Structure 1
Amino acid sequence: MAITTSIEQVPSRKISLGLSLLRHIQHDPLGAAKQLQQQYGDVAKLNILFRRIYYFFSPEAARQILVDHQSDFVRESRQLKVFASFQGKNVLTTEGADWDRQRRILTPGFSPKRVAGYMDLMNAAIHDSVSAELPVEPGKTAVVDADFLTTRVTMDVILRTLFSYATTQAEAAKVSIAIRALSRQSMRELFWPIIPPKWLPYPGRAAKLEQLKIIHTLIDEHIQARTSTNTDSKQDVLSMLLAARDDQPGAGNASLSAQEIHDNCFVLFAAGFDTASSAMSWWIGLMATHPGIVEQLRQEITAANTTALESIARLPLLNATIKEAMRLYPPSTALFTRVAQKDVVIGDTPVAKNTLVVIPIWNLHHDARSFAEPNVFRPERFLPDAPAIPRGAYLPFGAGPHFCLGQHFASIEMALIAAHLIQHFDFALAEGETLPEPVVDLVLKPKSGLRVRVTRR
């Protein structure tokens, strides 16, 4: 499909809509961004539906937008409204003073010290869910879909750490289906010309309400069970949310309201399992195709000679393989957009007020200027003694004040999952399989499934 040209290169009558480009971006955001970069270099200037949109493909520009000039940009209000229609007003869907207050209240609950307190819950969930899905007898083999496996494991982890709750296989599947359906619906709505009111019938509305009910009911039941008693001895995320207080008295309510607790449970629940699931699916596929790396990981774990979860989660090569997997297959590729609040210059490019800027994470992560042999799995890029990666070139969790609040939580979770799998299983792609093409389904997923042969050691 042809890409429309830069707005500086054609008469205005030819750029008034840009519908073909919009369709291309909607159906193949990775392919569309690749073509834009090939055609225009580090800055692609577009006009779609009378909206000025700039794609910035250099790490320097990404860092300027997200960090250096972060106060000159805000997240797109339309995008926030779409997600708020699913999740309510939480730390992901708010902006300005409301976001600042919620972020300030929540941040201490995701400090390294606090996350360390969740590690026993994580480990128990990993052990139980893996035992339920994979062979337990040495030498036994099963062929599994990596995405199905990691969805189950990360779903168990988030439910255990959020609510101290051990889910069943049937419930995990039901909730996972609901979250995935809501993700697909939100991606559809992001490209609609208007955001329909709640009462108006629209494509997908009935299914959306049904899936939302599943998630809201689950969250409400756990919150009500916890708040109906006068004591709370749990050491989980919900306890943190209930106890969290603002460290700046006078800047709004000092604690989260009941609705804010519910809405932040929703975003932690939805985002907390799906992004980690995506990253671990690709990591398993990469381990299945790199047996030499797997053996090095086992040697690292053996040499560490420790059962301490925190020490295992910090092993250098283990974490390097996860980071490299997220470079090759970044879970979140579609949400890094900002709107200029005033005229600003990014690099040598003037950006007018109200311009929508897009930071294509996939392209940054696959740029040969930052990563030699960018399509090759080379975890040594992320070892402690490796050359520094250019700032702004690697952004799996974002950057600036809106960087992912759960970054440390997710990193520990993924390391514990990876260590458990490496210690207990051998991996190989199912016969005749190759690593599938990635597709954006809010997060990055294997387009055709990722079938892996898993053998108990």
Structure 2
Amino acid sequence: MNPTSSSQCPFHADAKTPAPILHPLGVWPPGPPAGLTGWSLLVRMSRDLLGTLAAWQREFGDVVHLRLWPEHDVVVADPQLARELLVTNHDALVRWERGIRVFSHVHGSSVLIAEGEAWRNKRHALNPSFTPKAVQAFIPSIAAATENALAQWPMNHERWPIESALTSLTMDVIMQMIFSSEIGDDARVAEEAVRVASAAANAEFYWPASSPEWVPWKRGKRRAIAALKDLIERQLQARLTLPDDAWPDDLLSRLLQLHRDDAMTWPLQAVRDECMTAFLAGHETTAATLVWWAWCMASNPAAQKAAREEVRQVLRGRVPTVETVSSLRYLNQTIKETLRLYPTAPVLISRRCAKPITLGSWQLPERTMFMVPVQLMHHDPRWFAEPLEFRPERFAADAPEVPRGAYLPFGAGPRVCLGQHLALVEMTVIAAMVLQRFELSAPEGMASPPPVMNVTLRPETPLRLQVATAR
């Protein structure tokens, strides 16, 4: 018999139940045999992380212990316990140190990397640029960038490279937000650099230690990071040549003002780091979701037809505005369902507890590591009926409530994705304008593209779809 989670069912999370009987400290949840070091488990995860974690959940339950010498890693795939970990115990957690060091090669010391007081200060400074109200101000520029991009798409094409086209578009949007500039001829270079850097980072996570950055086999990673840093640096230097009164109201100007006000806390390198994180996180997560949304539309013609009809009724041929975006309810449901099926971050950055914590019935010592496999919970039939089916109605206003913690496309707790409001608004605007102009369909004989996780979730090969003028 497979062991089950000792946590309370999320459907009855508010019910009065007795406190769980605690396992003694030093007793770990069940898990696969690790051998001498457990590194064989790393090899298995490196080949198919999501499939491996799903197999272990079926065999051992919702809380799985992995002995990966010198670490004890606990996989938490129970919604209530995941929320308990990320929300209730957030002050006991730090992110996995070596994983963060790998990310820091690209992101420096940005808000993505920082911990403790440094993180709180950076998050507080950046929050005003990512509030729902601040994001609404970008809708006209998102719509303008989308209109320009879609004008370059063919009216009919049997295998249009839609993944590359959507990635370029989201790069343009985030470039406007950060630098009031377009990506232009840098788009293909930046796209390839992001792909190479992401794949290199993902590969390093499955080695017990990282090799130095100067080794010959990391030449491709070094070149990719250099290309991205050059993109940021050119924008920064161009801004510094302008008189202050000519600075546009964008994220770079706000960061430079922080530098002018307090150069000790906000040196120019900190400005570079935040621009890099905003560029990478700001376009990659949105692009990946839009690519999967395009596939979901192409492979579900009835949902695409319903979404297009809503767009036509609400927009009446006009571009989306602050007033109309919120009325595109069904379209928003298709995006949320895409995020459920294909979460951009299918496994959250691992956490480590800095002090002992209790999670459900388990007493876990200081320095325990935790993985939260979001996709496993999104695909769990206990929380979502027929979980592999694309059903936007799951997110209708009158749909049954999803258990808290079962749907975490942007994480949870204080470190929830800073750009979640921007991402949802941007995806809604772009998706609406695509449906205004085009019908999407899968080329004949095309199977569902296998997803591959290289930090974010993308199709195994770049997605190409048939596009035709919307009727």
Q: Is TM-score (shorter-chain normalized) higher than 0.5?
A: yes
| 1:322 counterpart = 2:342 | no
Give, in angstroms, the shift of residue 36 of structure 1: 0.8
Which amino acid in 2 is paired with 1:403? V
Matches for 1:3-402 after TM superposition, within 5 Å = 15-132=35-152, 134-136=153-155, 140-168=156-184, 170-198=185-213, 200-201=214-215, 203-204=217-218, 206-229=219-242, 230-243=244-257, 256-305=266-315, 307=318, 308-314=320-326, 315-402=328-415
Cα 1:226–1:22 change in 2 (3 A) is: same
2:32 touches 2:56 (CA, 8 Å); kept in 1? no
Give, in angstroms, the shift of residue 253 of structure 1: 6.9
Which amino acid in 1 is paired with 2:85? I
CA–CA distance in 1 between the matches of 2:35 and 2:307?
Answer: 53
Q: Residue 401 of structure 1 aligns to a residue in which SS?
A: coil
Q: Which residue of 1 aligns with 2:6?
A: none
Q: Residue 52 of structure 1 aligns to a residue in which SS?
A: strand
User: Which range moved further: 147-156 or 436-445?
Assistant: 147-156
1:17-50, CA deviations, whole angstroms, 9 ceiling, x for partnerless residues? Answer: 1122111111211111111101101111110123
1:388-430, CA deviations, whole angstroms, 9 ceiling, x for partnerless residues? Answer: 2111111111110100001011111111110011110011101
1:215-235, CA deviations, whole angstroms, 9 ceiling, x for partnerless residues? Answer: 111111111211222224423
CA–CA distance in 1 between the matches of 2:135 and 2:258?
Answer: 15
Give, in angstroms, the shift of residue 9 of structure 1: 6.9
CA–CA distance in 2 between the matches of 1:117 and 1:9?
Answer: 50
Q: Which residue of 2 aligns with 1:406?
A: 419
User: Which range moved further: 379-388 or 104-113?
Assistant: 379-388
1:121 touches 1:164 (CA, 8 Å); kept in 2? no
1:324 touches 1:377 (CA, 8 Å); kept in 2? yes
Q: Residue 402 of structure 1 aligns to a residue in which SS?
A: coil
Which amino acid in 2 is paired with 1:333? P
1:136-174, CA deviations, whole angstroms, 9 ceiling, x for partnerless residues? Answer: 4xxx33422332222122122222222111232x42111
RMSD over aligned Cα atoms? 2.3
Give, in angstroms, the shift of residue 128 of structure 1: 1.6
CA–CA distance in 1 between the matches of 2:388 and 2:118?
Answer: 41
CA–CA distance in 2 between the matches of 1:117 and 1:108?
Answer: 12
Corresponding residue to 2:448 among 432, 435, 439: 435
CA–CA distance in 1 between the matches of 2:388 and 2:263?
Answer: 48
Identity of matched residues, % = 34
Give, in angstroms, the shift of residue 119 of structure 1: 1.8
2:42 touches 2:207 (CA, 8 Å); kept in 1? no
CA–CA distance in 1 between the matches of 2:323 and 2:293?
Answer: 20
1:16 touches 1:50 (CA, 8 Å); kept in 2? no
1:305-347, CA deviations, whole angstroms, 9 ceiling, x for partnerless residues? Answer: 4645223432211111001001000111233321111111111
User: Which range moved further: 261-270 or 296-305?
Assistant: 296-305
1:75-111, CA deviations, whole angstroms, 9 ceiling, x for partnerless residues? Answer: 1111111111222100001111111110110011111
1:63 touches 1:391 (CA, 8 Å); kept in 2? yes
1:428-450, CA deviations, whole angstroms, 9 ceiling, x for partnerless residues? Answer: 10111021111111111112443
Which amino acid in 2 is paired with 1:292? A
Q: Residue 160 of structure 2 aligns to a residue in which SS?
A: strand
CA–CA distance in 1 between the matches of 2:405 and 2:348?
Answer: 16
Unaligned runs of 5+ in 1: 1-5
Which amino acid in 2 is paired with 1:443? T
1:117 touches 1:235 (CA, 8 Å); kept in 2? no
Which amino acid in 1 is paired with 2:245? T
User: Which range moved further: 359-368 or 156-165?
Assistant: 156-165
Cα 1:123–1:237 change in 2 (3 A) is: farther
Which amino acid in 2 is paired with 1:236? D
User: Which range moved further: 39-48 or 236-245?
Assistant: 236-245
Cα 1:325–1:221 change in 2 (3 A) is: same
Which amino acid in 2 is paired with 1:52? H
Q: Which residue of 2 aligns with 1:3?
A: none
Give, in angstroms, the shift of residue 384 of structure 1: 2.2
Give, in angstroms, the shift of residue 11 of structure 1: 12
2:259 touches 2:266 (CA, 8 Å); kept in 1? yes
CA–CA distance in 2 between the matches of 1:117 and 1:162?
Answer: 13
2:29 touches 2:63 (CA, 8 Å); kept in 1? no
CA–CA distance in 1 between the matches of 2:104 and 2:299?
Answer: 40
CA–CA distance in 2 between the matches of 1:155 and 1:9?
Answer: 44
2:259 touches 2:268 (CA, 8 Å); kept in 1? no
Unaligned runs of 5+ in 2: 1-26
CA–CA distance in 2 between the matches of 1:108 and 1:440?
Answer: 31
1:361 touches 1:396 (CA, 8 Å); kept in 2? yes
User: Which range moved further: 153-162 or 50-59?
Assistant: 153-162
User: Which range moved further: 80-89 or 291-300?
Assistant: 291-300
1:52 touches 1:355 (CA, 8 Å); kept in 2? yes
